[in-house]
């Protein structure tokens, strides 16, 4: 299959492009930044270039991972987010359904960040009595920053183009897999490695698993038609844990992993006192047939 991967020089693209190539696909990487996994240096904002590229390369599938991300909020203005995240997505969709296009599936890399309203973000400080259990039925969606707003708008463009043109489109709302340090308030008490290990309980996955979810989505897109999936490591928790997670997360973790405290103590690590949200990737397991290989259990095994 001839696949266009946007954002190919990014953290996900660097893993996804070679993964697809190992399966024998002909992959064209597109990114404004040059890199070993990028064949074409350019931006999705340039529709003429996008259309020419897709025609000349005979592109049959698109994985749209290019975006302005949350860290860019401090360095780029709102119009840049709209240009890349919204107009760029529209450009790709328009060219995917243009006369003569060979594209028969489209995978959009979205984010769980768009599911977090200010109320959820405030958590216990805002009067919450339990952690929020987050799956694809969560509504209303009220993104709290320009990143979330523009990714939500791009999702709606995907929905519209499937409705109008029947283009198979799967939306993958990935949780955290980036290498940068965490920005959570309670991360101040933990090292970056400790923080990320804790997050595998409720809102993190490896970049390798993120890449693999896109491989699976490409394979299943035509069968499924259109759908949205949370992509994150499987949580050991259940909704019945949400009350205690907010007030005493270490005790809940100890019930599921009795030996974690000893392993953590050996490294001088600690668990978050409170966990205010849990992403449930169960739908991806049931309907997409995807489960992350790495979760908190595997993290503990590596510590042992």
- The residue ranges of every structural domain in the chain are 2-303
What share of the chain in percent tops pLDDT 70?
A: 94
Residue 7: which of 97, 86, 145, 108 has the closest Cα? 108
DSSP H or E stretch at residue 64: strand 61-64
CA distance 185 to 181: 12
- Residue 235 clears pLDDT 60, i.e. is over it: yes
20 and 78 Cβ atoms separated by less than 8 Å: no
- Residue 186 clears pLDDT 60, i.e. is over it: no
pLDDT of residue 240: 98
18 and 36 Cβ atoms separated by less than 8 Å: no
Phi first, then psi: give them for residue 203, nearest 5 degrees.
-165, 45
User: Residue 191's pLDDT band (boundaries 50, 70, 90)?
Assistant: confident
What share of the chain in percent tops pLDDT 90?
A: 88
Average pLDDT over residues 104-128: 88
278 and 242 Cβ atoms separated by less than 8 Å: yes
Model-level pTM? 0.95
* Residue with the two structure tokens 């996900």: 12
pLDDT of residue 238: 98
- Span of 25-29, 66-70, 113-117, 121-125 with lowest mean pLDDT: 121-125
pLDDT of residue 184: 55
Token pair belonging to 191: 């090292």
**Per residue in 203-213, is it b (16+ CB within 10 Å) or e — as a string?**
bbbbbebbbbb
Provide the CATH topology of domain 2-303. Answer: Rossmann fold (3.40.50)
Average pLDDT over residues 21-44: 98
Average pLDDT over residues 199-219: 98
Over residues 49-77, the pLDDT tens digits come to 999 999 999 999 999 999 987 766 666 68
DSSP H or E stretch at residue 79: helix 78-81
81 and 72 Cβ atoms separated by less than 8 Å: yes
């Amino acid at each position: 299959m001839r696949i266009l991967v946007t954002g190919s020089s990014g953290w996900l693209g660097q893993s996804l492009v070679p993964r697809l190539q190992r399966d024998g696909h002909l992959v064209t990487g597109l990114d404004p930044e040059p890199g070993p996994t990028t064949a074409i240096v350019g931006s999705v904002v340039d529709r003429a270039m996008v259309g020419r590229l897709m025609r000349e390369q005979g592109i049959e599938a698109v994985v749209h991972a290019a975006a302005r991300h949350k860290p860019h909020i401090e360095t780029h203005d709102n119009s840049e987010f709209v240009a890349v995240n919204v107009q760029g997505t529209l450009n790709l969709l328009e060219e995917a359904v243009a006369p003569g296009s060979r594209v028969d599936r489209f995978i959009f890399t979205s984010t769980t960040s768009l599911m977090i309203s200010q109320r959820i973000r405030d958590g216990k400080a805002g009067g919450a009595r339990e952690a929020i259990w987050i799956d694809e039925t969560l509504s209303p969606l009220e993104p709290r920053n320009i990143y979330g707003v523009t990714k939500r708008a791009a999702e709606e463009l995907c929905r519209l183009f499937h409705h109008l043109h029947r283009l198979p489109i799967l939306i993958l709302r990935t949780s955290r897999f980036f290498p940068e340090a965490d920005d959570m308030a309670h991360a101040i008490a933990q090292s970056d490695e400790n923080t990320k290990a804790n997050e595998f309980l409720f809102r993190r996955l490896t970049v390798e698993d993120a890449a693999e979810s896109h491989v699976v989505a490409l394979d299943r897109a035509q069968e499924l038609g259109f759908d949205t999936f949370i992509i994150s490591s499987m949580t050991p928790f259940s909704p019945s844990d949400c009350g205690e997670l907010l007030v005493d997360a270490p005790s809940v973790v100890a019930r599921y992993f009795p030996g974690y405290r000893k392993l953590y103590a050996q490294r001088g690590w600690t668990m978050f006192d409170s966990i205010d949200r849990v992403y449930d990737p169960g739908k991806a397991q049931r309907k997409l047939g995807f489960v992350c290989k790495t979760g908190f259990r595997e993290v503990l095994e590596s510590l042992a």
